[in-house]
Chains A and B, each alone.
Chain A
Amino acid sequence: MKLALLLLGGLLAQADAGGPDPAGAAAVPAQHVRITVRAIAASNEPTAPAGLDAKLAPIATHLESFGEQFRFRSYKLLLVETVDLDWKAGAQIELPGSRSLQLTPRQLEPDGKIRVHLELLGEHPAHSRKLHTDYAIQRGGTILVGGLRVDPDDEKSGKLLIAVTQEMEK
């Protein structure tokens, strides 16, 4: 009986402390952060193939949610690049239209999300900063950044949509 009471007490104490750590690896964060960047041309041009590029299947649910609001006719994958980043070490990814994206994983949040610093830079050679922000994203989550033209000089080139996915570590 005493053993059972001790077991119950231990369980209650654990529950009171909030249960298992949701981050799982919060105490020992992964050494690398794997991020996949996809550059997508979102277009309403009649000549563009309608629908979603088959290569965009991994982020189809996000693009479908996006499409319900933005109503683009066509989504075509322009490039995809996956990078393994060290904490607080940035990577620069070249995008269509001579622009680039800088990503820096900053820290692992207590809730398991990863805080990332993002900068979108304009065309070479000025490379002026178009936007920058910090965001926290869960493993497997995707954030979409867009609005610029794919080709700054071509109105019919469609909008550049950048999908930044925090990959799940295997």
Chain B
Amino acid sequence: MKKRCAEVLPFLGALGDGAIAEGDRTWVQAHLASCAACPDRLSLFVAQGAALRERVQARSAAVSFDGFADKVLARTRAEKPHVLEGTGVWTREMFGAHRGAFAGAAGFALAACMALAVVFIQPQPADDGAEASQVEEVDFGTHDGAVLQLPHDTTVIWMSDDRGSSK
């Protein structure tokens, strides 16, 4: 095979199918006119194409599409998707179709939860004496004394010994 024949060979199939670019058609046909072997090669390509088309048409004519849709539906019913897969599809479809409504409902639910939390969650008393007994000023009379606030809400009023003052 000559060098020019090797260059023309990839274009022979397209030429036989009538699908070659216009820019290539001229120089490919010019070579075919001057070459002894390449027209035979082109004839072979054309014959092979015709044989393939005939074969495909024969097979497609033999295929029956009667009840095709029913068969597809029956098969989808027989092969039910997994629950999670179905839920995922349902969620995507629903959320996509009602995005605004879902966003509004979620905002409303969040606000309702916060309101309920404010109502029902009472602040816990801190263990810092805030809930302890409150003693106003103590009048110890002639005695000395003090008021102590101890852990566990323990309030102590302590006064000095009364010996001497009571005698």
Which residues of A pack against B, CB within 8 Å?
Answer: 4, 8, 11-12, 14-15, 19-20, 22, 61-62, 64-66, 68-70, 113, 122-123, 126, 128-138, 141-149, 152
Is A122 in contact with B166, judged by CB distance below 8 angstroms? Answer: yes
A-B contact pairs, 28 of them (CB 8 A): A4-B112, A8-B111, A8-B112, A11-B118, A19-B119, A62-B152, A65-B151, A65-B152, A68-B151, A69-B156, A122-B166, A123-B166, A128-B166, A129-B141, A130-B162, A131-B157, A133-B139, A135-B133, A135-B134, A142-B153, A143-B157, A144-B157, A145-B156, A147-B159, A147-B162, A149-B161, A149-B163, A152-B166
Query: Given the complex of chains A and B, what is the CA–CA distance between A152 and B164 in angstroms?
Result: 10
B29 to chain A, nearest CB (A): 78
Contacts of A147 in B (CB 8 A): 143, 145, 158-162
Is A66 in contact with B115, judged by CB distance below 8 angstroms? Answer: no
Query: Given the complex of chains A and B, what is the CA–CA distance between A8 and B108 in angstroms?
Result: 9
| New contact pairs (19) apart from A4-B108, A131-B141, A145-B158, CB-CB < 8 Å | A11-B118, A15-B119, A19-B118, A64-B152, A65-B154, A66-B150, A66-B154, A113-B133, A113-B134, A126-B166, A133-B137, A133-B139, A133-B157, A135-B135, A141-B133, A142-B154, A144-B157, A145-B157, A147-B161
Known pairs A4-B112, A144-B156; A131 contacts B150 (CB<8 A) = no
Known pairs A15-B119, A131-B140; A68 contacts B159 (CB<8 A) = no
Which residues of B pack against A, CB within 8 Å?
Answer: 108, 111-112, 115-116, 118-119, 122, 131-141, 143, 145, 148, 150-163, 166
Complex: chain A residue closest to B121, CB-CB? A19
User: B133: which of A122, A137, A149 is its contact (CB, 8 Å)?
Assistant: A137
